[in-house]
Amino acid sequence: MALFTVWAVATLTFAMIRAMPGGPVERMVQEIATQNPAMSRREINAMVEQRLSIDPDETLTEAYISYMSGLARGDLGESTFYSDSVAEIIIQSLPWTAFVMSISILGMFILGIGLGALMAYKEGSTFDVGSSVVAIFLSSVPYYIAAIALIYVLALEWSVFPLSGRYARDVTPGFSLEFMASALYHATLPAASFIITAWGGFALGMRGNSIQVLGQDYIRVARLRGLSDRRIALRYVGRNAILPMWTSFLIIIGFMFGASIILEEIFSYRGIGFYMFDSIDRRDYPVMMGTFLVITVSVVISVLIADLTYGKIDPRVSEGGKDESY
Amino acid sequence: MSSQESTQRSKPASYTTPDPIVEIRDAEVYFEMDRGVSRVLDNVSVDIERNEILGVVGESGSGKSMLASAMLDAVVDPGILEGTITYRPDSETAIDVLSVSKDELRKLRWEEISMVFQGAMSSFNPTMKVGGHFEETLKAHDYDVGEGMERARELLADLYLQPERVLESFPHELSGGMQQRALIALSVVLEPNVLVMDEPTAALDLLMQRSILSLLETLKEKYELSIVFITHDLPLIAELADRLAVMYAFELVEIGPSEEILRDAAHPYTRSLLNSTPNLDAPLSEMKAIEGAAPDPVNVPDGCSYHPRCPLADEECVAEDPDWRPTFTDEHQVGCFHWDQAADAIPFNIDNQGGER
């Protein structure tokens, strides 16, 4: 099923990318033609073919078959703009995207779950009402607006955070403390734009679930049994309230990969989204295909993980598969 | 509030027992709501004798569960509980349940006075094994876990469960009856002296109800428990309980030894309640519903709260709330002016109540 999804997406992407007006060939033919008006059409074609390793006269079917067979062998092709292979570009950029995403997810999880549970415990208080309003407001702000606002205030006006890049130019990449601090520093704003706009959804979800769990009889019984408030909050309320959020939590990873395209462009953060945006601009088919596939595969994998692990963390579900008790 | 102001609510202290383990005096629970004060437990005083089983009977919404919660000072927010509840672990010591510190209350609950709720299905944490509930309870009360789990296994075995299987199961893997029995075991694992059971058999089938009742008797003997058993099912509890207390409209209307109440119920309500109870032997035509509806807790009738539904009611009943008075014996008390006419006015529809077995 998961494999089929990947194949279907690859095919669709391939078709859609080829259907885009203009292509790398036209673009380059045009470029060469404007630079060397004297060249004949045949000479230009030969030159383009040599440079792009794409045969301009190849039919769509042939191109599809050659691409898919390459894909099956693990060959994503060569970039038509950069001199690197697509695989190389992905390996270079994916960890950076994953880095920003991990920070974002951790941040929105801690903030959302923590505040949501607190709001539920203080249901109806000023804190609860105030946080709900803020949470609803912030979740209705698109992340890219938050990103631009953050750049404007914190990077341009106050210069507290860097405007762009993955790490400071004078730092050499490696497992040094300096490099990691610099990377974290540069990732703060992109991650913050995600966290600020997404924690509200988590908090409101957690709040609702927690209020529901707090009304359950087993909470009352647990209190009468003299369990500590801490244990009730973690083992009873927390556990049972977070469970229903697990799936949406992993699915948001997929959403964030998609969002990284715009976000990384805003911050000129050279992650996978940045290269994808770039490749669309340059009609760089192989990079476009490759990055799109990586995003698709990540989404499929995270949904798959969500599905497979849910049964592990919720005892009621793992039974279902075995004896169809419901 | 105002409607209660005029009502006389003082009742003489003749409901005492010689060696009570819990004394409830003037217990009152009320909720302040937009449309008035909802008094869901109205001036209830009763003793629970050491090592007895007291059955508390009443229809739905008569305040039974509130009485149960009051004994552990566990009335749900925003309910307010007033009165005194005294727990006597032995004849000399007296603990005022409503004024002990938070820590002492935490110890008192479950260690001394424990409770089984209605709906065992929702009393366990669905994401935790049944055994985990036992362990955390023992730990929370600083009991020896190994020894406590030994006792838990014994208790489960006493209740005809396979200890290892039940402890290793998640709650949803057990049937309703098994969960109920596991919950009873959980409530007794800290060896309390008093066990309050609030409709513990409500969601179970008849067969399971019977078997749990007979298990309770064994349990009571073995662990020297005093049990308060709250139910709407009078015939069910009548065989098990030593004494019965009947509740109507958030107060007690009759109390006495079980056989006496079954044979010579003195309150018109108790008699009607017995008549309305379905019985397999009774033809459908002989089951009589009680006319009218139970009163609204915000607006309980003046005088005897049962007067709008009572065939014996006269001006006296409307004007004044009847005091407790002894009937055929001193232990059998009733809050009714006309108890001596009740038997003639409301005859039992079949003569099976006294001899029911």
Q: ipTM value of the model?
A: 0.81
Q: Which residues of B touch A222 (CB under 8 A)?
A: 125
- The DSSP result for B144-158, as a single string, is -HHHHHHHHHHHHHH
List the one residue out of A113, A111, A104, A123 whose CA is nearest residue A190. A104
Closest by CA to B224, choosing from B199, B186, B193, is: B193
Q: Other C-beta atoms within 10 Å of A105: how many? A: 19
Q: Which of chain B's residues have a Cβ under 8 Å away from the Cβ of A216?
A: 122
Looking at the complex, report in whole angstroms how far the Cα of residue A316 sits from the nearest Cα belonging to chain B: 7
Say if residue B78 is preceded by a cis peptide, omega within 30 of 0.
yes
Report d(CA A241, CA B269) in Å as an integer: 46
Contacts of residue A231 in chain B, CB cutoff 8 Å? 136, 140
Does the predicted model carry a pTM greater than 0.80?
Answer: no
Q: Per residue in B273-295, pLDDT tens? A: 888 776 666 666 666 777 777 78
CA-CA distance, B182 to B178, in Å (whole number)? 6
Whether A320 maps to a domain, the answer reads: no
Chain A interface includes B104 (CB < 8 A): no
Q: Point out the domain boundary residue: A72, A101, A118.
A: A72
Q: Name the residue among B180, B225, B226, B218 with its Cα closest to residue B199.
A: B180
Residues A168 and A300 in one domain: yes
Are A199 and A234 found together in one domain?
yes
Cα B44 to Cα B317: distance, rounded to the nearest angstrom: 19
List per-residue pLDDT tens for chain B, 357 residues long: 444 433 344 444 446 778 889 988 888 888 888 888 888 888 888 889 898 999 999 888 888 888 888 888 888 878 889 888 999 888 888 889 888 888 888 888 999 999 888 777 788 999 899 999 999 999 999 999 999 999 999 999 988 899 999 999 999 899 888 898 899 999 999 999 999 998 887 777 788 888 888 888 888 988 889 999 998 888 788 888 899 999 988 888 899 898 888 888 888 888 888 887 766 666 666 667 777 777 888 888 888 888 888 888 888 888 888 888 888 887 888 888 888 888 888 887 655 444 443
Interchain proximity A218–B115, CB inside 8 Å: no
Q: Measured between CB atoms, which of B117, B127, B133 is closest to A240?
A: B127
CA neighbor of A258 nearest in space, from A288, A286, A299? A299
- Answer yes or no: do A163 and A217 share one domain: yes
Whether B208 contacts B127, CB under 8 Å? no
Domain end among A25, A40, A72: A72
Q: Cα separation of B47 and B163, whole Å?
A: 35
Q: How far is CA B322 from CA A119, A195, B10, B296, B339, in A?
A: 49, 67, 9, 20, 11
Nearest to A295 by CA among A273, A322, A314: A273
Does residue A82 sit within a domain? no
pLDDT of residue A129: 92
How much is the pLDDT for B3?
A: 41
Whether residues A116 and A169 share a domain: the answer is yes
* The pLDDT value given to residue B12: 44
Residue that the structure tokens 């005088």 belong to: B303
User: From CA B12, how far away is CA A251, in angstroms rounded?
Assistant: 68
Residue A83 domain-assigned (yes or no): no
Task: Indicate if A179 and A40 belong to the same structural domain.
Answer: no
Domain count, chain A: 2
**Is A202 inside any structural domain?**
yes
Closest to A239 (Cβ–Cβ): which among B109, B127, B133? B127
Measure the N-to-C terminal CA separation of chain B; round to a whole number of Å.
44
Instruction: Find the closest chain B residue to A213 by CA distance.
Output: B125
Query: Do A114 and A233 reside in the same domain of the chain?
Result: yes
Q: Does the distance separating the beta carbons of A225 and B109 come in below 8 Å? A: yes
What are the pLDDT digits (tens) for A257-294?
888 888 888 888 888 888 888 888 777 778 888 888 88
DSSP B128: S
Q: Do A239 and B76 touch (CB under 8 A)?
A: no
Q: Specify the pLDDT at position B356.
A: 42
pLDDT tens, chain A, 326 aa long: 777 888 888 888 888 877 777 666 777 777 777 777 777 777 777 777 766 666 656 677 887 888 888 877 777 777 777 777 888 888 888 888 888 888 998 898 899 999 999 999 998 889 999 999 999 999 898 888 888 888 888 877 887 777 777 777 777 777 777 888 888 888 888 888 889 988 888 899 999 999 999 988 899 899 889 888 889 988 899 889 988 888 777 778 777 888 888 888 888 888 888 888 888 877 777 888 888 888 888 888 888 887 788 877 777 775 444 443 33
Per the domain annotation, does A121 fall within a domain?
yes
Domain interval for residue A41? 2-72
pLDDT in tens, B184-226: 999 999 999 999 998 887 777 788 888 888 888 888 988 889 9
Residue A98 is which amino acid? A
Closest partner CB to A316 (pick from B111, B123, B126) = B126
Return the pLDDT at B36: 83
- Asked if A48 and A103 sit in the same domain, the reply is no
Same-domain pairing of A106 and A226: yes
Q: Are strands B80-87 and B95-96 parallel, antiparallel or unpaired?
A: antiparallel
User: A30-50 burial, b if ≥16 CB within 10 A, otherwise e?
Assistant: eebeeeeeeeeeeebbeebbe
Q: What is the DSSP letter of B277?
A: S
What part of B 320-349 touches A (C-beta under 8 Å)?
none
- Which of chain A's residues have a Cβ under 8 Å away from the Cβ of B126? 218, 240, 315-316
Query: DSSP code of B197?
Result: E
> Does the beta carbon of B124 lie under 8 angstroms from any beta carbon of chain A?
yes
Helices (H), chain A: 2-19, 24-35, 41-52, 60-72, 86-121, 126-139, 143-150, 177-214, 217-224, 229-231, 239-242, 246-266, 272-282, 285-313, 315-323
- A169/A292 same-domain check: yes
Closest chain B C-alpha to A2 CA, distance in angstroms: 29
A294 in a structural domain? yes
Question: Among A224, A227, A235, whose Cβ lies nearest the Cβ of B74?
Answer: A224
Is there a single domain that holds both residue A127 and residue A39? no
Are residues A184 and A237 located together in one domain of the fold?
yes
Does a structural domain hold residue A148? yes
Q: Give the CATH number of the domain where residue A182 resides.
A: 1.10.3720.10
Q: What is the pLDDT of residue A318?
A: 59
Same domain, A102 and A147: yes
Partner-chain residue, chosen from A217, A227, A319, that has the shortest CB–CB distance to B123? A217
Mean pLDDT of chain B: 83
Domain-terminating residue out of A13, A37, A72: A72
Residue of A nearest to B73 (CA): A224
Angle, alpha carbons B138-B140-B141 (nearest 5°): 65
Looking only at the bridges linking them, the beta strands covering B194-198 and B226-231 are parallel
Any domain includes A146 = yes
pLDDT score, position B353: 45
